[in-house]
Structure 1
Amino acid sequence: MSLKTKFSDLLTSMPPLPEYPRPLLKRNSYYNLNGYWDYAITKNNKMPSTYDGKILVPFSPESSLSSVNKQLKPTEFLWYHRVLHDPRVNKNDRVLLQFGAVDQTADIYVNDCHLLSHQGGYLPFSIDITDQLITGENSLVVMVTDVSDTSYHARGKQKLECSGMFYTAQSGIWQTVFMECVPSTYIKNLKITPDIDTNSVSFELTIVGSDDFSNMKDKNTIAISKGSANPNKGNLIKKEIQIEEDFLTKEDFFHTSFTITLPEVHYWSPENPYLYDISITYGNDVVESYFAMRKISIGMDQNNILRLFLNNKPYFHNGLLDQGYWPESLYTPPSDEAMIYDITMIKDLGFNMLRKHAKLEPSRWYYHCDRLGVLVWQDFVNGGSSYRSWFVTIFPTIFPRFATLIKDNSYRLFSRTDEPGKEDYLSDMKCTVEYLYNHPSIVLWVPFNEGWGQFDSIKITEYLKTLDNTRLIDSASGWFDQGCGDVRSLHIYFTPMRFRPRNRALVLSEFGGYTLRIKSHTYSETTYGYRHYKTKQALTDAIVSVYEKKIFPGIEKGLCATVYTQLSDIEEEINGLITYDRKVLKIEKKRIQEMNHLCMREASKMRKLQK
C-alpha cells in the first residue's frame, strides 16, 4: 500500500528542506541547492549526453517523493546534473560545495573536471570548487554507484531484497546539498568539550588558509551568550582567542585550542535542555554554534550497584528504538517539521531517550534533540558481508548465555573476513565521532549490534575511547558480549527477563516489538514483529504489564536503561507505537504517559541511594 505522511503534503515550495543544515557551524553565506535536478541511470560510467528526467533532491530515486521511484542496481550508475552560478560577492572568497550524505560512492564533476571521489553513504563531505567556476553557467555533475548489501560496505538496515526487519535499499543524494562562501582563511571545524566539574568549556578550532591573524586581537574573538530560550539573553563572555605558539601545522591547516571558565553554569538535561550560544570570529570568518554543560558517566550507589549518571547524579534512560525511515522518502525526513514531530511525540509520551539504530541522521535531527531535550544512543552503521540469520538471530535468541561465549575474532561467523571493510569501518567510526562530537544529546556510542559485522570489539572499544572519552560505550548491543565497554547490554524478546547487578551498568537495549495492524495505515499485507495484538487497549495492556512486572522491579536490582522496540512501523515491521505514516498513535496515550511517570518516579529513588 502506498503511504505518506502529512509532512510531504506541505512541500508546496522549493527547495525542500530549506533550513540551514549544519546548526553547529553556521554562516550567513548559504545557498541551498535542493530542488529538481536532471537525472539518468546508465549501464556504464560514461557521462550521459541526455537525461531521463527530473529528480527532487535530496530524496533518493527509490523514494516516491523523488518523482523517480526506481531502484538503483549494484551494476548501474546514477547521474545527477544541475547548473550553478558563482555565488561570490567578494571575489577573494572561496566557494565550498557541501553534501550532507550521498549513498554510497559519489564522483563530483564541475565543468567536466573531476574534483573528488567520496566513499561512504552516511557522512558529510565538502569540496572547494572555486578554481573551477567560470562567469555565467557552470555544470555540476554527480555520479553515484551503490552496491548496497552485496558487499561489505556500511549499509544499516538497507536490503535490495527487503523483508521483515530489513528495509528498502536507497541510494544517491539523501541529505541537503548547499554552497557557502568563505574567506581565504576560514574555520573548517570546531570541537567543543564541556567540563561541569571545573565549570569550564574547551574549544579546538581547525583553521584552513595561510593568512596570519595571530596578532589581530579584534579579528579573533569568541562570544558566549546565555541560552536562546533565556528571556535575559546576553553575552556572558567575550574574549580574544589566543593563538598557541606550538599549534600544529600541516599544509594549509592548523589548530588552536583554548579553555574558558563560565561565570554561571546551567546544566543540560532532558528536563531542562539549556544551550549556550556562541559566535566566533577568526579573521574575516564568522561562525555561530552552541554547546551545553552536561556530563555522562558511570557511578556507584550506596548498595554498590553501578548506575548511569547525568551531571554526577543517577539518571534512568527510558527510550525507544528509532530507525529513521519514512514511507515516501526512506532515509530522508520529508521536512524539518517531520523530525520535530517524532521527537516531540516521544517526549510527550514521557520517554527521554532514543536509540538511533543502524543509521546516521542529518545534523538538524540531532540539533532538535539537543534543544528539545532527548538523550541519544547512537549506533555506528553496520557493514560486513551477508549475515547468517541462524547465527546472528535464531541461535542467540534461544541460547543467549551461550552466545556470550563466542569470541568475535571468529570473522567468518560474523561476516567480517573482509580486510578493506574493517578499515572502512574504523575510518567511518573516526569520521562519525568528528561529525557528531559537539551534539550534547548524544550520550552513548553503540559500535556493534547483534553480531552484524562485529569484529575485535575489545580493540574497537579501546580505539573509540581514544576518539571520545566523554561518552559511554555499549560495545556489543544484544548477543555477543565480549566483556568490554561501559554497559552490559541485553536484548530480550522471548526469554525471561532477569536482572542482576554486574561489573558494568546493566541496560535492556532492546525489548518489546509488539505488533498491532492498523487498517489502511500499513505498508503491506505481510506482518513482522513479536506478539500480535488486535486493539489499542490490548497493546497498551501488554506494554504497561511488562513495565510494571519487569522494568519497575528491575530498576532496584540494577537496571539502568530500557529501549522499547520501537518508535514507528517500518514497511513490513509493524511493531511501532505509531504507524509508518505517523497518522495513528497505536497505544492509549494517557496510560503510557502514566506508565513512564511511574517509571521515572521509581528510578528517582536511585538519587536517594547515591553516596
Structure 2
Amino acid sequence: MRLSIGIIASLLATATLASSNSRFFRRQTNVTGYAPKEGPLDTPWTDKVGTNPWPEYPRPQLQRSQWKSLNGVWRYQNASGLNEVDAPPFEVDLASPVLVPFCLESALSGVMGNWTIFSWYQTSFTVPSSWSSGNRVLLNFGAVDYEATVFVNRQKVGFHRGGYFGFTIDVTDYLSVNGTNEMLVFAHDPTDSGTWQIPIGKQTLEPSHIFYTPCSGIWQSVWLESAPANHITQLDLSADMDGKVNVNVHSSGNASTPVEVTIYEPHSTDVKATAKGNSGSAFEFTVDSPDLWSPDSPTLYNITIKMGSDTITSYTGFRTVSKAEIDGVMRPLLNGEFVFQFGTLDQGFWPDGIYTPPTREAMIYDLQVLKRVGYNMLRKHIKIEPALFYQAADEIGIMLIQDMPSMRPSIRDPNSTNACPPNVPVGQYASQLEFNRQLELMINQLKNYPSIVTWVIYNEGWGQERRAFYPEFGLMDLVRSIDPTRLINPVTGWHDHGAGDFHDNHHYANPQCGTPFYSVASTPYDPRRIAIQGEFGGVGQNVTEDHLWKVPAAVRDINQTYEIDETVEIWNYRSHILLTELLDQVKRFACSAAVWTQTTDVEGEVNGMLTYDRRVIRMDEEQWKNDIQALYDAAAERASGNHSMVMMPRDVAERLDGSQ
C-alpha cells in the first residue's frame, strides 16, 4: 500500500514537531547534569539505562579479574577542526555532559548531535588501591568512530584509527601520584563528508531510506584493567569437530614464555583437558570426545590460560566449517553435515542508542525472538558489534555471516563545475590500503567466536574497486591466511568475478537462489560454488506513528520500501508466498542458504520482523516456524540422497540444454 497524501501529511507534521521538540525537551535531570534527549523514538529499555550503562565485562574471550568500568557520565564539547588536537582543553570543564558509551548522535548520549565530526571527551578516574602492586594499568576502548587521540594527565598516550575496533593503551607511566587522573579523548569522524572514503557501512551524514543516522565518537565500553608487565595481548584460539585445539598466545614481552591451557567441562569446574606451550608460537593439542557446537546444541567450554603471572579466562566451541559436493551440489557443512542456513539481514541499529543497544538485555532480545521462530543464522550487515553480541550468538546458537563494513562507493565529483555535480567512483588507492588493513583487524578481532561461519568482504560493490583490478581475489587470500577455518564470500550481491566459496544473489522481493534464472544485476549461478540468496524479501508493512522514526525525511522515504503491504495479515501472507518460492528452489535447484531482509525496521525502512522500537512483532510465529522448518526439512531430504528431486518442466529443461 502506498501511503495516501493525507496520511503522509499527518505523519510529517507529527515527525516535524517531535524532531524540533526533541532538541530541547529533556527527561528529568540527575545530579550529574546528564539527561537523555527525547529522541524520535525510544525502546522498552531506554529508561532502564541509567548512568552506569553496560556494566558487564566487555571482552569475554580475553577476560581479567581486576578491572574497572569507565562507562558513565563524561563531559563533551564540539571541536572546530583537526587543529584543535594540538591544543587540548586541559583542566577545563567541557561544556556538556555525555553518557559513554553511546555515540554522540544518539538520544541516550544526552547530546544527539548532528555532523559531530570533531569532538572532545573528558573524564577523570582513579586506580583501585586493591590492584596487584607492580602490575601495569591498561586503558581499553571497545570502539571509537573514527579516529581517537587519547591524553592522560596532559600527555598524549595513544592514537587509533578505525571505527569498529578495540584498542589498548598502557597508561601506567602517565598516572598521577595523587591518585586522580584526567583523561581527554579527541574524536574525529568524517563519515561520508568531503572526499573521505572510509569503512562506514550504513552510516551517512544525510540519512535517506536505506542509509541511516551516523555514529560518532565513543560507542563501545571503556575500561581499565590490571595486568603484569609481560601480559597476554591477543589470544588466537580455534577448536574443531575432531577435538583438535589450536592456540597462539601473543604477549607484550619479546621473550617466549611458558603457557598453560586448561579446558573445563561445560557448566562445570571439572577439568576436561590441559596443555602446555609457549607464547608467540602456535601449538596444538586434542581433547577427547568433545560435545560439538551447533545451533541445535550450542555447547561452549570455559578456558583458563596462564602465561607467567598473567591469567585470563576465555571460552570456545568445538565445530568445523567446510564445504563439499553432496549429490552433485556444492554445500556448506557444519561438523561434516549440510545445514541449510536461514537468517535475517541484521543491521544492528537502535532508535535510542543508534549503533549501541541500550542494554545487553535489549541486544539479546532480538536474537531470542529470531531463534524462537527457527532462524539459525544472521547476516551481520556491514557493521561490527560489541564482543558481547558475539558471545550471545555463541550461547544462543546462531550462526553468523559477518560483513566487513563497506566504504562509500561514490562521491560528488570534486572537479565538476556543475551546480549539482555528478557522482563518480571514489577508488582512492590509499583508501583501499586502509580498507585492507581494517579487514585484517576485523578477522583478528572476531575469529575466535564459534558462531561466525562466513566472512563477507564486499557488499553490492560498495567501495569495491573494479576498474583497474579486482581486489577481492587478493583479499580472499589475505583472509584465508589469517583464518583458514571459515568460508569466505568476497562479493555479496553483484560485481561477482568468480572469487570465493559462494555464488551470491540479491533480489527483491522473490528469491533466485541457485536457479537457472537471475536478474540483470546478478550473474548466472556458478555450480562450482555454494548458492546463497544473500538478500531477498524486504516486504514492508506500515505501522502507527507510535512505532515510527519521527523524522520527516524518514517518513517521506517509507514508500521507497520494495513493497508495502496494507495489513500485518497480508504481510505474513506475502512472506509465506516468498518463503514457499524459496522452498521450491531448495527442492528443485541448488539453494543452500538465504538471508531475509530484515530483523527490524530502521528509520525509514518498515520491513522488519519487528518494528524499530521492538514493541511490535509482525510475525505470525506459528506460520514462520512452519515455513522455516520446511526449508530445513527439504534441505535435509536433498542431502540424504533419498529425495525425489522435483524437476523443471521438460520444455524448460530442453531450452536450457539447447535442445530442439
Superposition TM-score, scaled by structure 1 size: 0.89
Deviation (angstroms), 1:209: 2.7
**Among residues 350, 371, 392, which one is paired with 1:326 in the alignment?**
350
1: CA distance between counterparts of 2:510 and 2:399?
A: 28
Structure 2 counterpart SS, 1:602: helix
1:200 and 2:244 aligned: yes
Deviation (angstroms), 1:439: 0.2
Paired amino acid for 1:189 = Q
Paired amino acid for 1:23 = P
1: CA distance between counterparts of 2:424 and 2:345?
A: 23
In structure 1, the residue matched to 2:253 is 209
2: CA distance between counterparts of 1:383 and 1:107?
A: 22
In structure 2, the residue matched to 1:18 is 55
In structure 1, the residue matched to 2:123 is 82
In structure 2, the residue matched to 1:408 is none
Greater C-alpha Rg: 2
Deviation (angstroms), 1:496: 7.1
Deviation (angstroms), 1:210: 6.0
1:432 and 2:457 aligned: no
Instruction: Map 1:266-305 onto structure 2 (within 5 A).
Output: 266-302=291-327, 304-305=328-329
Instruction: Map 1:89-128 onto structure 2 (within 5 A).
Output: 89-128=131-170
CA contact (8 A) 1:505 1:560 kept: yes
In structure 1, the residue matched to 2:34 is none
Paired amino acid for 2:624 = I
CA contact (8 A) 1:314 1:610 kept: no
Deviation (angstroms), 1:577: 1.0
Deviation (angstroms), 1:196: 2.3
Structure 1 counterpart SS, 2:410: coil
1: CA distance between counterparts of 2:586 and 2:602?
A: 30
In structure 1, the residue matched to 2:432 is 422
| CA separation of 1:256 and 1:346: change in aligned 2, threshold 3 A | same
In structure 2, the residue matched to 1:487 is 502
Instruction: Map 1:326-405 onto structure 2 (within 5 A).
Output: 326-384=350-408, 386=410
CA contact (8 A) 1:31 1:178 kept: yes
| CA separation of 1:325 and 1:355: change in aligned 2, threshold 3 A | same
In structure 2, the residue matched to 1:180 is 225
Paired amino acid for 2:433 = E
Deviation (angstroms), 1:212: 7.3
1: CA distance between counterparts of 2:412 and 2:598?
A: 24
Two-structure CA RMSD over aligned residues (Å): 2.1
Deviation (angstroms), 1:503: 1.2
1:550 and 2:574 aligned: no
Paired amino acid for 1:372 = I
CA contact (8 A) 1:149 1:386 kept: no
Deviation (angstroms), 1:91: 3.0
Deviation (angstroms), 1:55: 0.1
Deviations 1:431-461, CA, capped at 9 Å, x for gaps: 1000001000000011001110012222222
In structure 1, the residue matched to 2:271 is 235
Alignment gaps of 5+ in structure 1: 215-219, 244-253, 390-411
Structure 2 counterpart SS, 1:288: strand
1: CA distance between counterparts of 2:256 and 2:330?
A: 50
1:190 and 2:235 aligned: yes
In structure 2, the residue matched to 1:36 is 73
Aligned residues: 565
Paired amino acid for 2:277 = Q
2: CA distance between counterparts of 1:242 and 1:553?
A: 49
Deviates more, 1:583-592 or 1:353-362: 583-592
**Among residues 264, 287, 292, which one is paired with 1:225 in the alignment?**
264
Structure 2 counterpart SS, 1:82: strand
In structure 1, the residue matched to 2:202 is 157
1:70 and 2:105 aligned: no
CA contact (8 A) 2:152 2:171 kept: yes
Structure 1 counterpart SS, 2:181: strand
Deviation (angstroms), 1:601: 1.3
| CA separation of 1:36 and 1:127: change in aligned 2, threshold 3 A | same
1:315 and 2:339 aligned: yes
